[in-house]
C-alpha cells in the first residue's frame, strides 16, 4: 500500500493533470520519431519524472514500465571500485550519477558507452535507440558535464539522453545547446488544489476546498509535498475540517525557529547557538541552499526595504561562496553573523531615532 503520491501517479501523457499542452507537444514529438536529447528542468515536485515516465511509455509501450534494479560496477582511473544502483527496463536505463560524488564522470562515460554500443536486437516494431536518463544533472561536476557533451554527439544514433535538472543555470551551455530543453514549471496552487480533489475523490474522501487551498499554499507549489501533507492531514483527522491544522515539514519549522532566534538576540553567544541549529539542519540532509532561502525569507519579513536589499545581497553572496566552498556551515554562519551585525545596527539606530 503506497502513499497517495505514488499510488495515483498518472501513467499516460494524456492523463496528466496540468501542463496539458506541453504533454500534447511531447506526444507529437514522439510520434514524429525524431527524438532529440531532452533536458527537462523545473522545481522539485512539478512532475518532471512523471512526465518522462509517461513519455517512455508512449515511446516503448508498457514494456518500459517493467523496471528492475541493478547494481553496476565501475573502476576509476585511480583503481577505486565504485558501484551504482541503476533502474532499468529493456528500453531504458536510469541512473543518478551524483550518488558516486566526484567520480560521476567515470559513471557517465562508461555507462553511456555501454548502453550506446549495444544495438537494439529487435528493432522491427521498436525504436532504434535506447534512452539513458540522468538525474540531477545540475549537480554533476564540471568534468562529468564535459564528458557528457562529446558522448551526446557521438552516440546519438543509438541512444538518447534525457537529462533531469532543477535548474539549467548550473548546466554548462554546451549541453544546454545540444538538448531540447523542456521546462516543467511548478503547478499553481489552483492546479494543486484540483489534483488534491481528484485524489481524494479516488480515495473516496471529501476534501473541503478551503483546506485544499491551504495545503496548496503550505506546500510551496510542490505537488508531492501537497499530496503527502494531504494524506498526513487525513491520518491526523478525518473527516476533514476546513480549519484543521496542516502539518508542516519539520525542517521548515526548524528554520523558522532559527530565524526567530536570530531576530530576538544578536550576540556572539546566540550565534553559537544558531550554529548548532544549523548543524542540525545540515545533518538532516536539508540542502544548504534551501536553508539559505528559508532563512532569508524568514529574516526579511522584519526588515524595511533598504535592509531587505542589503540582506538579500549578502545572502546571495554567501550562498555563492557556499557553492564554491566545501563547508556550508562556514558560509551560513557568516551570513547569520552579517545579518546580526546589520540588524543590530539597524535596531540601535531606530531606537536612537525614537529617543
Partner 1 sequence: MNIINKLQDDAGETNSSTIFAVLFEEFVKKETPSKQFEIEVFVVIIGALDKRIKAYQNDIRSFFKVRKPEDGDSDIIPESPQVQIKNKAKRSRRKRALSDDSDESSPKEKVKKKSGEKGLRTKEDESSKNTLKEVKTADLFGNGVIKRSEPLLKKHKATESGIHSDNEFEMSLLELDEIEEQNTTNCSNKKETGNASITDKIVAKEIQKNDSPSKSNTHSVSSKEEHLLPKNEKTNEVANSKETKKKIAIDSSCVDNIKTENNDIKEGAKKADFSEFIESHDNIAPKENTPKSKKRKLDKSLNESVLTDEEKHERRSMSAALYKNYLNRSGPKHLGAKELPQGSPDCLKDCAFVLTGVLDSFEKEEIANAITNFGGCVKSSVTKKVTHVLAGEDAGPAKMAKAQELGIKIINEDEFLQMITNLSNNMQKSKVNEISEPPKKHSKKNYTKSPTDRKMSPKTKTSKVNNQNESKIDNFSKQIDVSKSGIKIENKYDCNLESKSNRDKKASTDNNKSEVEKELNKDIISNDKIVEDNNDQVVDKLGKPENCSSILKSSEQTPSSMLWVDKYKPQNVKQIIGQHGAASNVKKLSDWLMKWYANRKAKLPKPNPWAKNDDGGYYKAALLSGPPGVGKTTTVSLVCKELGFDVVEFNASDTRNKTLIKEQIGELLTTTSLSAYARGDTGKQAVTKKHVLVMDEVDGMAGNEDRGGLQELIGLIKSTSVPIICMCNDRNSQKMRSLVNYCYDLRFSRPRVDQIKSAMMSICFKEGIKIPPDVLAQLITAAGQDVRQTLHLMSVWAIDPKLADAERLRNEAKNIKRDIKLGPWEAVRKVFSAEEHKNMSINDKSDLFFYDYSLAPLFVQENYLQVVPHCPKDKVLERVSMAADSISLGDLVEARIRGSQAWHLLPVQAMYSSVIPGHAMAGHVAGQIQFPGWLGKNSRASKMQRLGQEIHAHTRLSTSGSKSSIFLDYCTHLRDAVVTPMLKDKADGISQSLDVLESYHLLREDLDSLIELSLWPGQRNPMILVESKVKAAMTRAYNKRASALPYAPAHVRRARTSRDTALDDDDEDATDELPDDSDPEADALIKKKKTKDDKPSTKEKPSTSKEKTRKK
Q: According to CB under 8 A, which residues from 72 to 91 bind partner 1? A: 85, 87
Q: Give how many residues touch partner 1 by CB under 8 A.
A: 71
121 binds partner 1 (CB under 8 A): no
Among 12, 280, 297, 347, binds partner 1 (CB under 8 A): 280
C-alpha cell at 179: 538538448
Strand arrangement of the beta sheet that strand 130-134 belongs to: 68-75, 81-88, 92-95, 130-134, 159-165, 38-41, 180-183
CB 223 within 8 A of CB 45: yes
* Shortest distance in whole angstroms from residue 267 CB to partner 1: 7
349 binds partner 1 (CB under 8 A): no
Task: Tally Cβ neighbours within 10 Å of residue 68.
Answer: 9
For partner 1, the closer of residues 87 and 213 by Cβ is 87
What does the alpha-carbon distance between residue 25 and residue 51 come to, in Å, rounded to a whole number?
12
Q: Which stretch binds partner 1 (CB under 8 A): 11-19, 72-80, 179-187, 324-332?
A: 324-332
What does the alpha-carbon distance between residue 292 and residue 186 come to, in Å, rounded to a whole number?
20
352 binds partner 1 (CB under 8 A): no
* Shortest distance in whole angstroms from residue 351 CB to partner 1: 12
Among 68, 122, 125, 169, binds partner 1 (CB under 8 A): 68
Alpha carbon dihedral 289, 295, 299, 300, in 10-degree steps, equals 30
What does the alpha-carbon distance between residue 162 and residue 99 come to, in Å, rounded to a whole number?
18
For partner 1, the closer of residues 155 and 189 by Cβ is 189
* Shortest distance in whole angstroms from residue 311 CB to partner 1: 12
338 binds partner 1 (CB under 8 A): yes
Q: Which stretch binds partner 1 (CB under 8 A): 30-38, 92-100, 103-111, 238-246?
A: 92-100
* Residue 164 φ/ψ, nearest 5 degrees: -115, 130
What does the alpha-carbon distance between residue 140 and residue 161 come to, in Å, rounded to a whole number?
15
List binders of partner 1 among 231-260 (CB under 8 A).
Answer: 231-232, 235, 249-251, 254
* Shortest distance in whole angstroms from residue 135 CB to partner 1: 6
Q: Is 50 helix (H, G, I), strand (E, B) or coil?
A: helix
Amino acid at each position: 500500500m503506497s502513499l497517495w503520491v505514488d499510488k495515483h501517479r498518472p501513467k499516460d501523457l494524456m492523463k496528466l493533470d496540468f501542463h496539458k499542452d506541453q504533454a500534447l507537444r511531447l506526444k507529437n514529438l514522439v510520434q514524429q520519431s525524431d527524438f532529440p536529447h531532452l533536458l527537462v528542468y523545473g522545481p522539485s515536485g512539478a512532475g518532471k519524472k512523471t512526465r518522462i515516465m509517461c513519455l517512455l511509455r508512449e515511446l516503448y509501450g508498457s514494456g518500459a514500465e517493467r523496471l528492475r534494479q541493478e547494481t553496476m560496477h565501475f573502476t576509476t582511473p585511480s583503481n577505486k571500485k565504485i558501484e551504482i544502483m541503476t533502474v532499468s527496463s529493456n528500453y531504458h536505463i536510469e541512473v543518478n550519477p551524483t550518488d558516486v560524488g566526484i567520480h560521476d564522470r567515470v559513471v557517465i562515460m562508461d555507462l553511456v558507452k555501454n548502453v550506446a554500443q549495444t544495438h537494439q536486437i529487435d528493432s522491427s516494431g521498436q525504436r532504434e535507440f535506447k534512452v539513458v536518463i540522468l538525474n540531477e544533472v545540475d549537480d554533476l561536476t564540471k568534468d562529468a558535464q564535459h564528458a557528457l557533451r562529446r558522448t551526446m554527439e557521438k552516440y546519438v544514433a543509438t541512444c538518447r539522453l534525457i537529462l533531469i535538472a532543477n535548474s539549467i543555470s548550473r548546466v554548462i551551455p554546451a549541453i544546454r545547446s545540444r538538448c531540447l530543453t523542456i521546462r516543467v514549471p511548478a503547478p499553481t496552487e489552483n492546479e494543486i488544489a484540483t489534483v488534491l480533489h481528484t485524489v481524494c475523490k479516488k480515495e473516496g474522501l471529501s476534501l473541503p476546498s478551503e483546506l485544499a487551498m491551504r495545503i496548496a499554499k503550505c506546500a510551496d507549489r510542490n505537488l508531492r509535498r501537497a499530496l503527502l501533507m494531504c494524506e498526513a492531514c487525513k491520518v491526523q483527522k478525518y473527516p476533514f475540517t476546513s480549519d484543521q491544522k496542516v502539518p508542516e515539514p519539520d525542517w521548515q519549522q526548524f528554520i523558522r525557529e532559527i530565524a526567530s532566534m536570530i531576530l530576538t538576540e544578536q550576540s556572539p553567544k546566540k550565534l553559537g547557538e544558531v550554529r548548532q541549529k544549523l548543524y542540525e539542519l545540515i545533518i538532516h540532509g536539508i540542502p544548504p541552499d534551501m536553508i539559505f532561502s528559508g532563512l532569508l525569507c524568514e529574516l526579511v519579513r522584519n526588515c524595511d526595504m533598504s535592509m531587505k536589499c542589503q540582506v538579500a545581497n549578502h545572502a546571495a553572496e554567501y550562498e555563492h561562496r557556499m557553492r564554491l566552498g566545501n563547508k556550508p556551515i562556514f558560509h551560513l554562519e557568516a551570513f547569520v553573523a552579517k545579518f546580526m551585525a546589520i540588524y543590530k545596527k539597524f535596531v540601535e539606530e531606530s531606537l536612537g531615532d525614537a529617543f
